[in-house]
Protein backbone atom coordinates (compact mmCIF):
# COMPACT_ATOMS: atom_id res chain seq x y z
CA UNK A 1 0.00 0.00 0.00
CA UNK A 2 1.49 3.32 -1.07
CA UNK A 3 2.10 6.24 1.21
CA UNK A 4 0.04 9.41 1.07
CA UNK A 5 2.82 11.07 -0.89
CA UNK A 6 2.74 8.26 -3.49
CA UNK A 7 -1.01 8.64 -3.85
CA UNK A 8 -0.73 12.41 -4.22
CA UNK A 9 1.98 11.94 -6.89
CA UNK A 10 -0.18 9.42 -8.78
CA UNK A 11 -3.16 11.75 -8.57
CA UNK A 12 -1.05 14.62 -9.89
CA UNK A 13 0.06 12.46 -12.84
CA UNK A 14 -3.55 11.60 -13.64
CA UNK A 15 -4.54 15.25 -13.47
CA UNK A 16 -1.70 16.18 -15.81
CA UNK A 17 -2.65 13.35 -18.17
CA UNK A 18 -6.26 14.58 -18.25
CA UNK A 19 -5.06 18.14 -18.87
CA UNK A 20 -2.99 16.97 -21.84
CA UNK A 21 -5.93 15.03 -23.21
CA UNK A 22 -8.18 18.08 -22.86
CA UNK A 23 -5.60 20.16 -24.72
CA UNK A 24 -5.41 17.52 -27.46
CA UNK A 25 -9.21 17.45 -27.72
CA UNK A 26 -9.26 21.24 -28.03
CA UNK A 27 -6.67 21.10 -30.81
CA UNK A 28 -8.60 18.39 -32.65
CA UNK A 29 -11.87 20.30 -32.30
CA UNK A 30 -10.20 23.43 -33.68
CA UNK A 31 -8.77 21.44 -36.58
CA UNK A 32 -12.20 19.89 -37.19
CA UNK A 33 -13.81 23.35 -37.26
CA UNK A 34 -11.21 24.53 -39.75
CA UNK A 35 -11.82 21.50 -41.96
CA UNK A 36 -15.58 22.10 -41.77
CA UNK A 37 -15.03 25.67 -42.93
CA UNK A 38 -12.80 24.45 -45.75
CA UNK A 39 -15.39 21.87 -46.82
CA UNK A 40 -18.07 24.57 -46.81
CA UNK A 41 -15.93 26.91 -48.94
CA UNK A 42 -15.15 24.12 -51.39
CA UNK A 43 -18.82 23.16 -51.53
CA UNK A 44 -19.75 26.75 -52.29
CA UNK A 45 -17.16 26.88 -55.07
CA UNK A 46 -18.40 23.55 -56.44
CA UNK A 47 -21.98 24.85 -56.44
CA UNK A 48 -20.84 27.90 -58.42
CA UNK A 49 -19.05 25.73 -60.97
CA UNK A 50 -22.06 23.45 -61.33
CA UNK A 51 -24.42 26.40 -61.76
CA UNK A 52 -22.27 27.74 -64.59
CA UNK A 53 -21.42 24.51 -66.33
CA UNK A 54 -25.04 23.35 -66.35
CA UNK A 55 -26.51 24.08 -69.81
CA UNK A 56 -28.34 27.38 -70.00
CA UNK A 57 -32.12 27.40 -70.14
CA UNK A 58 -34.28 29.36 -72.56
CA UNK A 59 -35.03 32.07 -70.00
CA UNK A 60 -31.34 32.47 -69.22
CA UNK A 61 -30.50 32.81 -72.88
CA UNK A 62 -33.19 35.44 -73.40
CA UNK A 63 -31.72 37.46 -70.54
CA UNK A 64 -28.43 37.98 -72.38
CA UNK A 65 -27.92 41.50 -73.71
CA UNK A 66 -24.86 41.32 -75.94
CA UNK A 67 -24.41 39.77 -79.39
CA UNK A 68 -22.35 36.75 -80.34
CA UNK A 69 -19.41 37.27 -82.67
CA UNK A 70 -17.28 34.31 -83.64
CA UNK A 71 -14.16 35.29 -85.53
CA UNK A 72 -11.68 32.43 -85.97
CA UNK A 73 -8.81 34.84 -86.62
CA UNK A 74 -9.16 36.19 -83.10
CA UNK A 75 -8.42 32.77 -81.66
CA UNK A 76 -4.76 33.13 -82.48
CA UNK A 77 -4.05 35.90 -79.98
CA UNK A 78 -2.45 34.79 -76.74
CA UNK A 79 -4.64 37.00 -74.55
CA UNK A 80 -8.27 37.93 -74.99
CA UNK A 81 -10.83 39.99 -73.14
CA UNK A 82 -13.82 38.33 -71.55
CA UNK A 83 -16.12 37.13 -74.32
CA UNK A 84 -19.75 38.12 -74.62
CA UNK A 85 -22.29 35.37 -74.10
CA UNK A 86 -24.37 34.05 -77.00
CA UNK A 87 -27.77 35.73 -77.10
CA UNK A 88 -29.88 33.86 -79.59
CA UNK A 89 -33.42 33.61 -78.25
CA UNK A 90 -34.49 30.31 -79.80
CA UNK A 91 -33.12 27.07 -81.08
CA UNK A 92 -33.27 28.06 -84.73
CA UNK A 93 -31.03 31.09 -84.11
CA UNK A 94 -28.39 29.06 -82.27
CA UNK A 95 -28.57 26.26 -84.81
CA UNK A 96 -27.55 28.75 -87.49
CA UNK A 97 -24.44 29.83 -85.56
CA UNK A 98 -21.45 28.35 -87.34
CA UNK A 99 -18.84 27.15 -84.90
CA UNK A 100 -15.20 26.98 -86.00
CA UNK A 101 -13.83 23.58 -86.96
CA UNK A 102 -10.17 22.58 -86.84
CA UNK A 103 -9.10 19.22 -88.31
CA UNK A 104 -7.23 16.85 -86.00
CA UNK A 105 -5.80 13.37 -86.09
CA UNK A 106 -7.74 10.57 -84.43
CA UNK A 107 -5.05 10.40 -81.75
CA UNK A 108 -5.42 14.12 -80.95
CA UNK A 109 -9.20 13.84 -80.77
CA UNK A 110 -8.99 10.94 -78.33
CA UNK A 111 -6.40 12.77 -76.21
CA UNK A 112 -8.62 15.86 -75.90
CA UNK A 113 -11.70 13.78 -75.12
CA UNK A 114 -9.88 11.74 -72.45
CA UNK A 115 -8.43 14.92 -70.90
CA UNK A 116 -11.92 16.45 -70.59
CA UNK A 117 -13.37 13.26 -69.09
CA UNK A 118 -10.50 13.24 -66.58
CA UNK A 119 -11.18 16.83 -65.47
CA UNK A 120 -13.33 17.24 -62.35
CA UNK A 121 -15.13 20.33 -63.67
CA UNK A 122 -15.82 19.13 -67.23
CA UNK A 123 -16.22 15.36 -67.00
CA UNK A 124 -20.02 15.56 -66.55
CA UNK A 125 -20.61 17.11 -69.96
CA UNK A 126 -22.62 15.10 -72.45
CA UNK A 127 -20.63 13.23 -75.07
CA UNK A 128 -22.22 15.32 -77.84
CA UNK A 129 -21.01 18.48 -76.10
CA UNK A 130 -17.52 17.04 -75.67
CA UNK A 131 -17.42 16.15 -79.36
CA UNK A 132 -18.29 19.72 -80.35
CA UNK A 133 -15.63 21.07 -77.98
CA UNK A 134 -13.08 18.71 -79.53
CA UNK A 135 -13.97 19.93 -83.02
CA UNK A 136 -13.75 23.61 -82.01
CA UNK A 137 -10.35 23.45 -80.30
CA UNK A 138 -7.52 25.00 -82.29
CA UNK A 139 -3.74 24.33 -82.10
CA UNK A 140 -1.34 26.58 -80.17
CA UNK A 141 2.43 26.16 -79.82
CA UNK A 142 4.75 27.69 -77.21
CA UNK A 143 8.52 27.53 -76.96
CA UNK A 144 10.51 26.73 -73.83
CA UNK A 145 10.22 29.14 -70.86
CA UNK A 146 7.14 30.87 -72.27
CA UNK A 147 4.31 32.17 -70.07
CA UNK A 148 0.99 30.66 -71.14
CA UNK A 149 -1.09 31.91 -68.20
CA UNK A 150 -0.15 34.67 -65.77
CA UNK A 151 -1.64 34.81 -62.29
CA UNK A 152 -4.02 37.75 -61.90
CA UNK A 153 -4.66 38.21 -65.62
CA UNK A 154 -8.20 38.01 -67.02
CA UNK A 155 -8.58 34.79 -68.98
CA UNK A 156 -11.07 33.37 -71.45
CA UNK A 157 -9.24 30.33 -72.82
CA UNK A 158 -8.91 26.76 -71.66
CA UNK A 159 -6.13 24.46 -72.85
CA UNK A 160 -5.47 20.77 -73.35
CA UNK A 161 -1.82 19.78 -73.56
CA UNK A 162 -0.79 17.29 -76.22
CA UNK A 163 2.99 17.52 -76.05
CA UNK A 164 5.56 18.93 -73.63
CA UNK A 165 5.63 19.88 -69.95
CA UNK A 166 4.61 22.98 -67.97
CA UNK A 167 5.12 24.22 -64.42
CA UNK A 168 2.30 25.69 -62.34
CA UNK A 169 3.12 28.28 -59.67
CA UNK A 170 1.07 30.47 -57.32
CA UNK A 171 2.61 33.50 -55.65
CA UNK A 172 5.98 32.26 -56.97
CA UNK A 173 5.57 28.93 -55.14
CA UNK A 174 5.65 25.79 -57.28
CA UNK A 175 2.42 23.82 -57.17
CA UNK A 176 3.02 21.07 -59.71
CA UNK A 177 4.17 20.13 -63.19
CA UNK A 178 1.83 18.84 -65.90
CA UNK A 179 2.34 16.78 -69.01
CA UNK A 180 0.25 15.62 -71.99
CA UNK A 181 -3.41 14.81 -71.54
CA UNK A 182 -4.15 17.52 -68.95
CA UNK A 183 -6.69 20.36 -68.99
CA UNK A 184 -5.74 23.72 -67.48
CA UNK A 185 -7.22 27.20 -67.39
CA UNK A 186 -10.74 25.75 -67.10
CA UNK A 187 -11.92 28.24 -64.45
CA UNK A 188 -11.86 31.02 -67.04
CA UNK A 189 -14.19 29.06 -69.29
CA UNK A 190 -16.64 28.32 -66.49
CA UNK A 191 -17.12 31.93 -65.40
CA UNK A 192 -15.44 35.31 -65.59
CA UNK A 193 -12.45 35.28 -63.27
CA UNK A 194 -8.79 36.18 -63.11
CA UNK A 195 -6.17 33.51 -63.47
CA UNK A 196 -5.48 31.83 -60.12
CA UNK A 197 -1.97 30.60 -61.00
CA UNK A 198 0.86 31.07 -63.48
CA UNK A 199 1.67 28.41 -66.07
CA UNK A 200 5.08 28.45 -67.78
CA UNK A 201 6.56 26.00 -70.26
CA UNK A 202 9.48 23.78 -69.27
CA UNK A 203 9.84 22.47 -72.82
CA UNK A 204 8.34 23.23 -76.21
CA UNK A 205 4.63 22.47 -75.89
CA UNK A 206 1.78 21.77 -78.25
CA UNK A 207 -1.66 22.73 -76.96
CA UNK A 208 -5.28 22.74 -78.06
CA UNK A 209 -7.44 25.69 -76.98
CA UNK A 210 -11.06 26.84 -76.96
CA UNK A 211 -12.44 30.23 -75.87
CA UNK A 212 -15.27 30.80 -73.44
CA UNK A 213 -17.52 32.31 -76.08
CA UNK A 214 -17.45 29.20 -78.22
CA UNK A 215 -17.85 26.97 -75.17
CA UNK A 216 -20.93 28.87 -73.98
CA UNK A 217 -22.50 28.65 -77.43
CA UNK A 218 -22.22 24.86 -77.28
CA UNK A 219 -23.68 24.77 -73.75
CA UNK A 220 -26.59 27.08 -74.59
CA UNK A 221 -27.50 25.30 -77.79
CA UNK A 222 -27.70 22.02 -75.89
CA UNK A 223 -29.67 23.71 -73.12
CA UNK A 224 -32.25 25.12 -75.50
CA UNK A 225 -32.73 21.80 -77.26
CA UNK A 226 -33.21 20.06 -73.89
CA UNK A 227 -35.60 22.77 -72.74
CA UNK A 228 -37.75 22.41 -75.87
CA UNK A 229 -37.79 18.63 -75.44
CA UNK A 230 -38.85 18.93 -71.79
CA UNK A 231 -41.59 21.42 -72.73
CA UNK A 232 -43.02 19.01 -75.30
CA UNK A 233 -42.98 16.23 -72.70
CA UNK A 234 -44.73 18.37 -70.05
CA UNK A 235 -47.42 19.43 -72.52
CA UNK A 236 -48.14 15.76 -73.22
CA UNK A 237 -48.86 15.03 -69.54
CA UNK A 238 -52.64 15.38 -68.89
CA UNK A 239 -52.07 16.71 -65.35
CA UNK A 240 -50.10 19.68 -66.69
CA UNK A 241 -52.30 20.62 -69.64
CA UNK A 242 -53.99 23.42 -67.72
CA UNK A 243 -50.72 25.12 -66.79
CA UNK A 244 -49.48 28.27 -68.52
CA UNK A 245 -46.45 28.39 -70.81
CA UNK A 246 -44.53 30.33 -68.18
CA UNK A 247 -45.21 27.73 -65.48
CA UNK A 248 -44.30 24.87 -67.82
CA UNK A 249 -41.09 26.68 -68.74
CA UNK A 250 -40.14 27.01 -65.08
CA UNK A 251 -40.80 23.31 -64.54
CA UNK A 252 -38.67 22.48 -67.58
CA UNK A 253 -35.85 24.61 -66.16
CA UNK A 254 -35.54 22.40 -63.06
CA UNK A 255 -36.19 19.01 -64.64
CA UNK A 256 -33.47 16.39 -64.67
CA UNK A 257 -33.24 13.36 -66.92
CA UNK A 258 -32.32 9.92 -65.58
CA UNK A 259 -31.44 7.01 -67.85
CA UNK A 260 -31.83 3.41 -66.66
CA UNK A 261 -32.54 -0.02 -68.16
CA UNK A 262 -35.57 -2.31 -67.94
CA UNK A 263 -35.54 -6.09 -67.47
CA UNK A 264 -34.89 -6.59 -71.19
CA UNK A 265 -31.87 -4.23 -70.94
CA UNK A 266 -33.60 -1.60 -73.04
CA UNK A 267 -32.88 2.04 -72.07
CA UNK A 268 -35.65 3.83 -70.20
CA UNK A 269 -35.75 7.60 -69.61
CA UNK A 270 -37.19 9.21 -66.48
CA UNK A 271 -37.74 12.91 -65.81
CA UNK A 272 -37.44 14.24 -62.27
Q: How does pLDDT run across 146-166, given as a tens digit for each residue?
A: 999 999 998 889 999 999 999
Lowest mean pLDDT among 81-90, 136-145, 160-169, 183-192: 81-90
- Phi and psi (nearest 5°) for 113? -60, -45
Q: Is the pTM of this model over 0.85?
A: no
Collapsing DSSP states into helix, strand and coil, what is residue 149? strand
Q: Give dist(CA 10, CA 217) in Å, integer.
A: 75
Q: Give dist(CA 18, CA 68) in Å, integer.
A: 68
* Local confidence band at 78 (pLDDT 50, 70, 90 cut-offs): very low
Measured CA distances, 113 to 109, 158, 209, 222 (Å): 6, 14, 13, 18
Most confident residue range from 71-85, 207-221, 226-240: 207-221
Average pLDDT in the chain = 78
Residue 19 pLDDT > 70: yes
Which whole number is the average pLDDT over 57-68? Answer: 44
Q: Give dist(CA 159, CA 170) in Å, integer.
A: 18
Q: Which one is predicted more confidently, 272 or 134? A: 134
Q: Could you read off the pLDDT of 166-211 as tens digits, one per residue? A: 999 999 999 999 999 999 998 877 767 788 899 999 999 999 999 9
Amino acid sequence: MGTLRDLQYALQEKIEELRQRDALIDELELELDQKDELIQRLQNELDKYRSVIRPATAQQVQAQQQSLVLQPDQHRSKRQAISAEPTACDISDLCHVTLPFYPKSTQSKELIKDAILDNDFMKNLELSQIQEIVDCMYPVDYGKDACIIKEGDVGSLVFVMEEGKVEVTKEEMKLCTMGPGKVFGELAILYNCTRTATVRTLTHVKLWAIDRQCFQTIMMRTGLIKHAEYMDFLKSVPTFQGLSEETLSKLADVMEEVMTFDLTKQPVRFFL
